[in-house]
Chains A and B, each alone.
Chain A
Amino acid sequence: MTVVEVRGLTKKYGKKPAISNLSFDVNEGEIFGFIGPDGAGKTTLFRILTTLLLPNEGNAKVLGKDVVKDYKYLRQRLGYMPGRFSLYMDLTVEENLKFFASIFNTTIEENYDLIKDIYSQIEPFRERRAGDLSGGMKQKLALSCALIHKPQLLVLDEPTTGVDAVSRKEFWEMLKRLKEQGITIIVSTPYMDEAILCDRIALIQNGSILKIDTPNGIVSGFRKNLFSIKANNKYDTIKFLESYEFADSVYPFGDSIHYLDIRENLNSNDLLFDLQSKGIADCKVAVIEAGIEDVFMSLMKENRDEQ
């Protein structure tokens, strides 16, 4: 079953379109990810899908209903976690959750299982004002609030921004379990290691979708030669590569540097030799397979350069 069906969707603020002519489908039980820079239009799209904003053109059907006409029906069945906090900072942790449960005529006890993994981490602080929680703890509470009524479609706008590495891992394990219960999930994230956990991903930039595919499809479609360079002085090496005449892109990547070259049949020995002759003595060069972050950065850069 198709849970979300979007056709020609456009929203303008003034003359400038925030999203233009978007079309895509999301299937039942799918985790569908949106990746793109801030301002790409993700939040605008999510607000239309959750009936909070009206489109200028095109239409969107969610759970078979129209987002404009059937908003009352949909609001009972959607869960939405906005990127900016939606909590009552003067209420305690538990009061916030109770409040959201009561709007949807349910109770914390009834759906506790659904939120347990995340909520149990902040439960020891249930009597603390939400305003006194740390940044990441607020995210966890906001997520619990979006889930408490067991929605059929969950729309999450950067739910893990500010969330620590361990909790992010646990969070995605939880999304998997929700998916197994048949809940469809639309999620945006700035973390590329999360993109790979989605069933399909859409890359969105400047209000348009550049690509929709499975994570594997996106990575295997990448044709450029990627080099990993490990150097003693990373900063100097990056500076050098940025001004190197054959450089396509240069990005620090954990403890190494990821480098794309404009020459087609370059091998790592030639590159190493060239670097050494230019005074970058202490380094190791290897050809590596591109990961999803490499591919996205390359696509985003190409699209940026074209404009």
Chain B
Amino acid sequence: MNNNKKVIEVSDLTRKFGKFTAVDSISFDVKEGEIFGFLGANGAGKTTAIKMLIGLLSPTSGKATVAGYDVYNQSEQIKKSIGYMSQKFSLYEDLTIAENISFYAGIYGLTDEQINDKTDLLLKKLDLENSRNELIKSLPLGWKQKLAFSVAIIHDPSIAFLDEPTGGVDPITRRQFWNLIYEAAENKRTIFVTTHYMDEAEYCDRVSIMVDGRIEALDSPANLKSKYDSATMNDVFIQLARKNQVKE
């Protein structure tokens, strides 16, 4: 990272469902080109927060801008500036690989020529040239996820939101997926990613750890490990995630 431009700015962002507060007044910034790890226990509020940041869910209170746009009234602009991979799978199972690519490229307004070029480029990069006419449902999960990521950034967005992109993916493919992330970050794309694999937390420039709707810690992995006197991010996470229950 060679600049300090902020591409995500959040202050006191809150979301309630009835009386229950899923996201409780969180504040943080993300810088351009940063790989930002958004960690937290199950139900901590990660997906809910992401949905607010990408304009799918309206906040109850607080402020947030993404790529300079306000989440309250500029969600259309936000959607054009970001790519999103949801926690559940985001490609069409009954379409072929090539059909999925051109479908998404079409949504984002690419021309036919651009679509053809992008499709060839992508298939080549992912080593899927011989499978272009296979149905998505016949692909192993790891390949689907790599393809889903590439499709999510097909319109060259400045920020990619990835909600548990490597959940259930085998150790080798998981690492190949992170190579794609690194490559995107090298090209100045900002990556906002959640994961439950704590070794992946180490691959992030900074990570935040959410507990019960609040951000309890936010720093580089090295600083967090020294602050919590832990050898691994796994230990840091374990110290924080059940913090509130230990107190009781």
Q: Is A70 an interface residue (CB 8 A)?
A: no
User: Is A293 touching B168 in the complex (CB atoms < 8 A)?
Assistant: no
Whether B168 lies near A161 (C-beta < 8 A) is yes
Q: Which residue of B has the minimal Cβ distance to A256?
A: B202
Asked if A253 is at the interface (CB within 8 A of a chain B CB), the reply is yes
A278-307, CB under 8 A of B: which get 1 and which 0?
A: 000000000000000100110011000000
Q: Which residues of chain B come closer than 8 Å to A192, judged between CB atoms?
A: 171
Task: Indicate whether A255 reaches chain B with its CB closer than 8 angstroms.
Answer: yes
Bound-state Cα–Cα, A300 to B141, Å: 16
A167 contacts the other chain (CB 8 A)? yes
Tell me whether A252 and B42 are in contact (CB under 8 A).
no
B122 to chain A, nearest CB (A): 21
Q: Does B41 contact A (CB under 8 A)?
A: yes
Q: Is the CB of A162 within 8 A of B202?
A: no
Query: Which B residues between 90 and 136 are near A, CB-CB below 8 angstroms?
Result: none
Residues of chain A within 8 A (CB-CB) of B186 are 235
A135 to B48 alpha-carbon distance, docked (Å): 11
Contact across chains for B238 and A165 when beta carbons are under 8 A apart: yes
- Tell me the minimal C-beta distance from B35 to chain A in angstroms: 10
Task: Find chain A residues with CB under 8 A from B168 CB.
Answer: 38, 83, 158, 161-162, 190
Among A83, A166, A301: residue with most chain B CB under 10 A: A166
Distance from B186 Cβ to chain A, minimum over Cβ atoms (Å) = 7
CA distance A164 to B179 in the complex (A): 23
> Known interface pairs A134-B43, A162-B164. Does A37 touch B142 (Cβ–Cβ under 8 Å)?
yes
- Cα–Cα distance between A98 and B202 once the two chains are bound (Å): 41
User: In the complex the two chains form, what is the Cα distance from A168 to B197 in whole Å?
Assistant: 11
The one of A134, A165, A297 in contact with B171, judged by C-beta atoms closer than 8 angstroms, is A297
Q: B123 → chain A, closest Cβ, in Å?
A: 19
Determine, out of B25-33, B63-71, B229-237, the stretch whose residues face the partner at the interface: B229-237
Q: Is the CB of A300 within 8 A of B234?
A: no
Assembly CA distance A36 to B172 (angstroms): 10
B232 touches A254 (CB 8 A): yes
With both beta carbons as reference points, the residue of chain B lying nearest to A139 in the complex is identified as B42
Does residue B221 face the partner (Cβ distance < 8 Å to A)? Answer: yes
Q: Say how far A301's CB is from chain B's closest CB, in angstroms.
A: 7
* Contact size range, A: 35 or more
B237 & A137 in contact (Cβ 8 Å cutoff): no
User: B248 at the A/B interface (Cβ < 8 Å)?
Assistant: no
Least distance between B196 CB and chain A CB atoms (Å) = 5
Which residue of the partner chain B has the closest CB to A294? Answer: B171
Task: Name B170's contact: one of A38, A163, A168, A235 (CB within 8 Å).
Answer: A38
Tell me if A150 counts as interface (CB < 8 A to partner B): no
A217 at the interface (CB under 8 A from B): no
Contact with A along B198-241 (1 / 0, CB 8 A): 11001100000000000000000110000000001110011001
List, in ascending order, chain B residues with CB within 8 A of A191's CB: 197
Report if A135-B203 is in contact (Cβ < 8 Å); known contacts: A38-B141, A166-B238, A235-B182.
Answer: no
Q: Does A169 contact B (CB under 8 A)?
A: yes
Residues A167 and B171 in contact, CB atoms below 8 Å apart: no
A163 to B70, CA, bound (A): 32
Q: How far does the Cβ of A244 sit from chain B's closest Cβ, in whole Å?
A: 16
Interface contact B203-A162, CB-CB below 8 Å: no
Do the beta carbons of A167 and B41 come within 8 Å of each other? yes
Cβ of B238 to closest chain A Cβ, rounded Å? 5
A190–B171 contact, CB under 8 A?
A: yes
Which residues of chain A from 211 to 259 have any CB-CB distance to chain B below 8 Å in the complex?
Answer: 235, 238, 251-255
Residue of B nearest to A253 (CB): B199
CA distance A237 to B47 in the complex (A): 33
Highest count of chain A CB atoms <10 Å: which of B88, B168, B174, B238:
B168
> How close is B232's CB to chain A, nearest CB, in angstroms?
7
Q: How far is the CA of A163 from the CA of B196 in the complex (A)?
A: 7
Tell me the complex Cα distance, A274–B187, Å. 29
Report B-chain residues with C-beta under 8 Å of the C-beta of A169: 238
Is B170 a contact of A300 with CB atoms below 8 Å?
yes
B196 partner, pick from A38, A83, A140, A162, beta carbons under 8 A: A162
- Shortest C-beta distance, B47 to chain A (Å), equals 6
Cα of A304 to Cα of B203 in the assembled complex, Å: 26
Say how far A180's CB is from chain B's closest CB, in angstroms.
24
Closest 7 CB pairs of A and B: A136-B42, A38-B141, A39-B140, A37-B170, A161-B168, A134-B43, A254-B202
Q: 12 A-B pairs, CB-CB below 8 angstroms? A: A83-B168, A134-B47, A135-B47, A136-B42, A136-B43, A164-B42, A165-B237, A190-B171, A251-B175, A254-B233, A300-B170, A300-B172
* Partner-A contacts on B (CB < 8 A): 17, 40-44, 46-47, 87-88, 140-142, 164, 167-175, 178-179, 182, 186, 196-199, 202-203, 221-222, 232-234, 237-238, 241-242
Interface residues of A (CB under 8 A from B): 36-39, 83, 132-137, 139-140, 158, 161-169, 190-192, 235, 238, 251-255, 293, 296-297, 300-301
- Having A37-B170, A162-B164, A164-B40, one finds 6 other A-B pairs with CB under 8 Å, namely A135-B47, A139-B42, A163-B42, A166-B41, A166-B238, A301-B172
